Amino acid sequence: MSVRGAEIRERSLETLGRRSFDLLVIGGGIVGARVALEASRAGLRVALVDAGDFGGATSSASGKLVHGGLRYLRTRRFRLVRAALRERSLLATRIAPHLVRPLPVLLYTEEAAWSRYLTAAGLLPYRALGCLRRPRLAAGAFRALPAGTRCGLVQEAVTDDGRLTLATVKAAVRAGTVAANHVRVTALSKHRGKVSGAVLEGREGSFELHCRAVVNATGPWLDYLRLLEDPRRQPAVRLSKGVHLVLPLEGEWRAAMALTLRDGRHVYAVPWHGTVLVGTTDTSYEGDPGSVVPTPTEEAYLLEAASRFLPNDLVRRDRVLCSFAGLRVLRPGHEPTFDASREHLLSVGPAGMVSVAGGKLTTHRPIALDALRALPSEVRPRRLHPCLDPLPGASPPDERALRSTLDAATARHLAELYGGEAGDLLGYAASFPEALDRVHPAGPDLWAQIHHAADEEWAVTAEDVTRRRTTLAVRGLDAESVREGIAAVLAEGR
């Protein structure tokens, strides 16, 4: 942490322990961050804490697609698809156009049952809200597909999920939320049977926070918190593990692709920060959510599935830049996890704690509003108008300032990550001579981003920076020496 970052953290922790809050939001993934933002905007005094990093769990391990959810077409849930498409459009045009960008998706299927959804009639909801566009793909990007493969094209969007979460936390803090990451809730306190606070433990020690209501937005940890509220509670969720691999991008892709194989498996490839993201698996998971990592078998499975449509010299174990795993939160049930509903889960416990999880990153705004509507009446905001304000960085970047200082590729990189706030990074050159140098010669991330992450984005560990605030990890550039250099910058304020 920098001197400024350390001061901000110290002040936040001190305020969390001293002040009494209307609402404590536990979990700073995309859902918790949005709950905090909407609640602060509605006038509540809000605290937001995360045991790890903001966006450090599921909300940086998604498939990065902001999409309508074609799988719902199969079960004719057109209303859900329409709602998700509406969200996609709002995020891409108004709320976070710098972080949610239109991307065509080519759909291929070898499976007869799916093929009709690739017809004009099946894609009607998409036609209604999204425009269909002919993508331009690099010649030879894909292998010839097996005979009988049908294809369709839809317009979706791609995001940087980790940075979208950070931008939402930033907006929440600007609206009045007091936020701290790397602080875990280890116990809940009650007054007259109702939840009235929590014990928090972080690197700096433990303390108690007082509040009138709690939203449990801990994603895969939902049941752990429910047990803190009531040790007799039965599990409300089951988990499904999804793994992604990152491969180098060759040529320029202007579309993602999603393939349904004859055996029913689904696999997709998404161009992302100069790489190709290949996903995903969908298998039941019963271990500790904090220990979820890709296994060699899962990586081999994805490479084999991807080899059906990507060139063989790309889809090789030795070309994998990085891999990661996340956990979907699903309703309990006996059906295979792939067939389980992807709708979010919401419940109110005996002590009044609102627990919310699951759903999609795409629909995190309506999910957050649902959670706030379930708050105890004495805390619930009277009127909840969904906040349509643009997130920090949503205004267009000052291209001239960026281009006059940086090469075109680096300027574009900063604009993609920081949008209208990209220009702020140039200011670090005045204090740090190396600020505009690359952290690693093979990637566009600059040292200014590391200083900015420490000062303005709550970065505490080197991993916070490499995985969620820059593209170093996804590009496979987070070598030991790079992490040590970043840790040295973060240590300046301690």
Ligand X SMILES: Cc1cc2nc3c(=O)[nH]c(=O)nc-3n(C[C@H](O)[C@H](O)[C@H](O)COP(=O)(O)OP(=O)(O)OC[C@H]3O[C@@H](n4cnc5c(N)ncnc54)[C@H](O)[C@@H]3O)c2cc1C
Q: Which residue ranges make up the site for ligand X (CB under 6 A)?
A: 26-32, 49-52, 56-59, 61-67, 184-185, 217-221, 242, 280, 326-328, 357, 359-362
CA angle 454, 460, 466 (to 5 degrees): 80
Q: Is residue 275 within 8 Å of residue 472, measured between CB atoms? A: no
CA dihedral 313, 314, 318, 323 (to 10 degrees): -160
SS3 256: strand
Closest to ligand X by CB, 360 or 451: 360
Q: Is residue 182 within 8 Å of residue 203, measured between CB atoms? A: yes
Closest to ligand X by CB, 88 or 98: 88
SS3 9: helix
In whole angstroms, how close is the CB of 186 to ligand X at the nearest point?
7
Note if the bond before 280 is cis, omega within 30 degrees.
yes
In whole angstroms, how close is the CB of 363 to ligand X at the nearest point?
7
Closest to ligand X by CB, 62 or 115: 62
Closest to ligand X by CB, 16 or 477: 16
In whole angstroms, how close is the CB of 183 to ligand X at the nearest point?
7
In whole angstroms, how close is the CB of 466 to ligand X at the nearest point?
17
Closest to ligand X by CB, 84 or 439: 84
Summarize the chain as % helix, strand, coil (round to 5): 35, 25, 40
Radius of gyration of the chain (CA): 22
In whole angstroms, how close is the CB of 208 to ligand X at the nearest point?
14
Q: Is residue 489 within 8 Å of residue 451, measured between CB atoms? A: yes
User: 210: closest CA among 182, 189, 181, 185?
Assistant: 189
In whole angstroms, how close is the CB of 284 to ligand X at the nearest point?
13
Closest to ligand X by CB, 338 or 432: 338
Closest to ligand X by CB, 357 or 472: 357
Closest to ligand X by CB, 186 or 404: 186
Hey, what are 370's tokens? 């649902």
CA distances from 292 to 287, 320, 328, 477 (A): 8, 19, 12, 22
Closest to ligand X by CB, 91 or 315: 91
In whole angstroms, how close is the CB of 69 to ligand X at the nearest point?
8
In whole angstroms, how close is the CB of 179 to ligand X at the nearest point?
12
Measured over the CA atoms of residue 238, residue 46, residue 199 and residue 187, the dihedral's sign is negative
User: 96: closest CA among 467, 418, 445?
Assistant: 418
The CA distance from 411 to 47, in Å, is 35
The CA distance from 451 to 435, in Å, is 8
Hey, what are 283's tokens? 């298998």
Closest to ligand X by CB, 102 or 493: 102
